Amino acid sequence: MSMSVIDFEALGSAPVGHDPFDHVLVPGLISQDALRAANEDFPNIESAGSFPTGQLRYGPGFAALLRALEGPEMAAALGDKLGVDLTGKPTMVTVRGRARPTDGKIHTDSSGKLVTVLLYMNSSWDEPGGQLRLLRSPDDLDDYAVEVPPDEGTFLAFPCIPNAWHGHHPFDGERRTIQLNWVNSRRYKLREQVRHSISAFFKKIAG
């Protein structure tokens, strides 16, 4: 299934950017048929924030995309591209359906994560807000090297290193994003799953 979902030739030929930190950006990495099926079966998310897949309901098209992303072929291809050994490492997936004005603050990802993948699932994007920026510093959102429109099928990956600062200007509304992480241990994954589950529970109540 993954071979028909992900264009591994495009991933293999994509250059690794080094400014402001190592990253791989591949528009259109996912086949149009797979994108269509995944968006038709995308989970219904009414609240802002990240939700673990175990807290969501979704159809087979979305499930097929997740299997391809979390498969060993992706781990091998991306690990080779970024110079990070992802073989046998646990994965975590969270999903966003909406953004709120407080989202997008400058941050780096946890040191327990090895690599972050962001796959955007929005049919088009014309808004100035909500476009992720890869930043050169932790305190200036306009000091960026790369800006990534969250267009459907756009794939961004980077190692979770101390200077991998990123963020975006505020946006309020639908913004579909799948975040995949390879993490350094199953203990870390379990701890994050518990944290996300508790957070998701209170988001649903608030929503």
- The predicted model scores a pTM of 0.91
* Distance (Å, whole) CA 71 – CA 65: 10
Direct distance between the N- and C-terminal alpha carbons of the chain, in angstroms, rounded to an integer? 35
For residues 46 and 10, give the distance between their C-alpha atoms in angstroms, rounded to a whole number. Answer: 33
For 9, other C-beta atoms within 10 Å of its C-beta total 9
pLDDT tens digit sequence for 134-186: 999 999 999 999 999 999 999 999 999 999 999 999 999 999 999 999 999 88
User: Residue 116 corresponds to which amino acid?
Assistant: T
Tell me the average pLDDT across 61-85. Answer: 97
